A and B are shown apart, each in its own frame.
Chain A
Amino acid sequence: MKKRLLALALCAMMLLVGSVALAAQENPNVGLGIFPGTTEPGTIYVDAATQDIMDPIKQSYSNEFSINRHIWDCLVKLSVDDNSIVPAAAESWESSEDGMTWTFHLRPGMKWVDSTGAVIGDVTANDFVFAWSELLNPANACSYANYGEVFKNGKAYYDYASGVEGAPEVTLDQVGFHAVDDLTLVCELENYLPYFLQYVKFEVMAPIYEPFYTEVGADNYGTTPENLAFNGAFYMTEYVLEDHVTVVRNPEWWDADNVEVQKIVFKKFTDSNAKLNAFLGGEMDVIDLADGTQRATVRAYGYDTPSYAGGYSFFFWSNCDPNSGRDISNVNLRKAISAAIDRTELVNTVYKNDNLPSPSIAFGINGLTNPNGSFGDAVLAANNGEPLYSATSEPEKAQEYLAAALEELGKTADQIDITIMVSEGTTNELVAQVVQEQIRKTLGIEMKAEILTQAEWRARRKAHDFDICHGGWGPDYNDPMTDMDLFETGGGNNHCAYSNPEYDELLAKARVELDTATREQLFVQMEQIVARDAVVIPTFWQYVDYAVSEKIAGGYNRFPFQDLNFIYAKLAD
């Protein structure tokens, strides 16, 4: 087996989209004396909206992963400087020639600590094996159990253990992760995965200290800080449900010397105005801003606010099922709506911020041939530099499509029946009203709007029981596949019920293609087909504005796949 270190090569590969930031952020506001931040020395208050579950293997929201990142070390992690894969619990690793077997060498001397910071044990390779076994344990019903299925026999074991009918017997020790000794971990893969390290980096793959876990019991693990053990840069001391999580610097952590922050409070807000007030009043250090009006409020004090892209692409899912009997399943009608929508005005009225009218679907993904650029650039280049979707309204084009659609449907414009399914929330309702009015003005179609609770909205979307509905889609891993497999016939996330053999064939090819340039072209073609058939009606690529108090001088960054990372934050003097 020829050993090769991949860390460096991957560093180059996993560079950020668009803005290539090669170092952590600096806060340009430091010293202005406008928003000095919270008063408690060494402590920062950071906005984190979802903190429902603290058992790492059961987490499922990006804010939960953000807290997770601060208190546990996975084998590898993303660099705060450039979002590339860097060593964490594993100090080095190598893969076999065929890329199917990976060996990780753990850092010696790492310790487990409890919620008082007391050392309770050593971190060993078994802690990972144990955590991943628990991830695949059906009794835990982990949402991200499918991340354990990348390992050899992972899916077979999960299905067998879950009692899926006809699943052959597979035992846990047949699954492809093994501790060779205390510091060596070997992983075997089920399929070839060029982005395997992105899986190992994923926060639900954090280790669990077996003796401690067994002692508190699987059901109690994570319910309180006392019921958790930590191996990361911080350890948790307080967990008030729906309010805040407090983590304190862990002096036992292997890189503790470089950690300047003594304590981080992850605070949850449900009211965005209250959150802004808390920041302005010096009770928060980092907050996300709800919209351009809030941003303008902060900037009015002469204070600069940065923005970042988490890779979320927003669009209207549309029901493409020709058997649904819905008007919207007519492709020309969808194209008419897509052409009629004025994406720039939508962003300017509802958001008033840096959101970008979508040129294409996939966002936040690095280019394959040019890892320093984005996949979106490749799509743009293939379309002669023209976006696939116009940023402004194209009324003539829309009328042409509408005429064709009306002829095919045998209806007049006022007979067209389209309902926008809206999930509750001020912003969602504003988006619906803007589109409603734009379509009424340009096409003369009166769309209805139906507001539902999130739970019903999701269930109806899954059941394809809607005409169009607006939502965002964020990437799971840094490869165009994460977005492009959305429209596969029968796919679990194919809410559009889109089915096109030509598209499925391209997708199948992309799964086995080894040549990056060819693979990229396949994805570009898929983007073009999605646009041609107006499978979804894109609206914008999301940019989130946020504000950082002068207490934090730098050392943080916000990227797709790691939206909060304040481990190495530098405090102003």
Chain B
Amino acid sequence: MEHIEKSRFAHVGESARDREAISRPSLTFMQDAMRRLLKNKVALFCLVLIVLLTLASILAPMLSPFDYREQHYGHINAPMFTVCDDETVPGAGHMHLFGTDTLGRDLFTRVWMGGRISLTIAVVSALIDLVLGSIYGGISGYFGGTLDIILMRILEIINGIPYLIIVTLLMLVLEPGMMTIIVAYSLVGWIPMARLVRGQIVALKQQEFISAAEAMGASPARVILQHLLPNTLSVVIVRVTLSIPSAIFSEAYLSYIGLGIPLPLCSWGTLAQAGIQNFRVYPSQLIIPAICISLTMLAFNMFGDGLRDAFDPRLRR
């Protein structure tokens, strides 16, 4: 038995008002979550990192003296920090901070140009993933029975159709571009999420607090959204953060098989892909986009962990 020192107790006095007073200010769930999130230094740092990466992607290509598609034949595969001495281009005299690629294009500009595409695809896809996946999984898991079986079989069918066929057919209907890639990824990307949420809910719905809510007459929508989904949040957040790189690489994979973003645009995935071709000779062409991807990943994951802790109803004190 732990010994508790007497000095840790204080006498509140006789007044009934003092005895029944709420010692801490009353907070809503959101307020409480925000408060805990702001206290989490690591999560905050990661948030700042995400904002910085986003800002760099927006601003750097606008401010750079080089155009992302401009090819300098004089400096093919230039190493980092090479000064551009080609008088025929507007950026002459400036430095290629990250060097140039195999066609002599400024990698600094291209990396941030790629950031625009990759970050957009990642964030939008992750959000669609989150919304579609948790609602579908929630409904399937909560109602159970035949509906569950049918909804889950639909997932299997979508999952079973080769992704390449879906994408190729989509390309016939839509213009190739970022939107198409987001749509293509979203079409199948939410499936693991739906499965995961359903799995969690199947286990959760047997618990007492759900029976209690149902007994009090809560509608299914309320039970799913208010009671079940918040309790799956931790798993959901991990899955969302994991789906961010999978969206980035899905885009790279599509480019790999020739169905990615239109040329000469680039993304971190395609830059990494180009880098891997030459990495034994020009390692920086692989390392730079790889670091960008990893930083984004790390930031989103740590931030996700922070969110998880902040929103976990059981950690509420």
Chain A residues with CB under 8 Å of chain B are: 273, 293, 296-297, 345, 348-350, 422-426, 429-430, 432-434, 436-437, 440, 448-453, 456
Bound CA span A15–B201, Å: 76
**The one of B71, B257, B274, B278 that contacts A434, using a Cβ cutoff of 8 Å:** B71
When A348-B73, A349-B73, A451-B176 are in contact, do A426 and B274 touch as well, CB less than 8 Å? yes
Pick the contact of A450: B73, B168, B176, B264 (CB < 8 A). Answer: B176
Q: Which residue of B lies closest to A430 (CB)?
A: B103
> Can you list 7 A-B pairs, Cβ within 8 angstroms, ordered by A?
A293-B102, A293-B281, A423-B258, A432-B263, A436-B264, A450-B262, A456-B168
- Asked whether any CB of chain A lies closer than 8 Å to the CB of B41, the reply is no
With a cutoff of 8 Å between Cβ atoms, the chain A residues found around residue B71 in the complex are 349, 433-434, 437
Across the interface, B263 reaches (CB within 8 A) one of A297, A350, A422, A453, namely: A422
- Provide the residues of chain B in CB contact with A348, threshold 8 Å: 73, 76
Residues of B at under 8 Å CB distance from A?
A: 69-71, 73, 76, 102-104, 168, 176, 257-260, 262-264, 273-274, 276-278, 280-281
Question: 3 tightest CB-CB pairs across the interface, nearest first?
Answer: A424-B258, A449-B263, A451-B258
Question: Min CB distance, A433 to chain B, in Å?
Answer: 5
Complex contact B103–A433 (CB within 8 A): yes
A424 contact set on B, CB distance < 8 A: 257-259
Task: Give Cα A349 to B76, complex, Å.
Answer: 7
Q: Which residues of A contact B278 (CB under 8 A)?
A: 293
Asked if A426 contacts B259 (CB within 8 A), the reply is no
A297, A422, A451: residue with the most chain B Cβ atoms closer than 10 Å:
A451
Contacts of B274 in A (CB 8 A): 426
- Indicate if the CB atoms of A437 and B70 lie closer than 8 Å: yes
- Inter-subunit contact B258/A452 (CB<8 Å): yes
Task: Find A449's partner among B73, B102, B262, B276 (CB 8 Å cutoff).
Answer: B262
Expressed in whole angstroms, the minimum distance between the Cβ of A428 and any Cβ of chain B is 8
CA distance A20 to B124 in the complex (A): 61
Q: Is the CB of A451 within 8 A of B263?
A: yes
In the bound complex, CA of A448 to CA of B175 (Å): 12
Smallest Cβ distance from B262 to chain A, in angstroms? 6
Kindly list chain A residues whose C-beta atoms are within 8 Å of the C-beta of B281. 293, 296-297
**Shortest distance from the beta carbon of A153 to any chain B beta carbon, whole Å:** 44
Task: Give Cα A349–Cα B71 distance, bound, in whole angstroms.
Answer: 10
Do the beta carbons of B258 and A448 come within 8 Å of each other? no
User: With the chains together, A348 CA to B75 CA distance in Å?
Assistant: 12
Closest chain A CB from B101 CB (angstroms)? 10
Q: Do the beta carbons of A434 and B103 come within 8 Å of each other? A: yes
Among residues of A, the one whose C-beta sits closest to the C-beta of B263 is A449
Please determine whether B264 and A451 come into contact, CB atoms closer than 8 angstroms: no
Residue in B104, B168, B280 whose CB lies within 8 Å of A297: B280
Q: Is B259 a contact of A273 with CB atoms below 8 Å?
A: no
A426 contacts B263, C-beta separation under 8 Å: no
A437–B73 touching, CB < 8 Å: no
CA distance A220 to B168 in the complex (A): 33
B residues near A451, Cβ cutoff 8 Å: 176, 258-260, 262-263
Chain A residue nearest to B259 (CB atoms) is A451
Residues on A with C-beta less than 8 A from B104 are 349
Tell me how far the C-beta of A276 lies from the nearest C-beta in chain B, rounded to whole angstroms: 9
20 further contact pairs, Cβ within 8 A, besides A429-B263, A451-B176: A273-B276, A273-B277, A293-B102, A296-B281, A348-B76, A349-B76, A349-B102, A424-B258, A429-B258, A433-B263, A434-B103, A436-B69, A436-B264, A437-B70, A437-B264, A451-B259, A453-B168, A453-B257, A453-B258, A453-B259
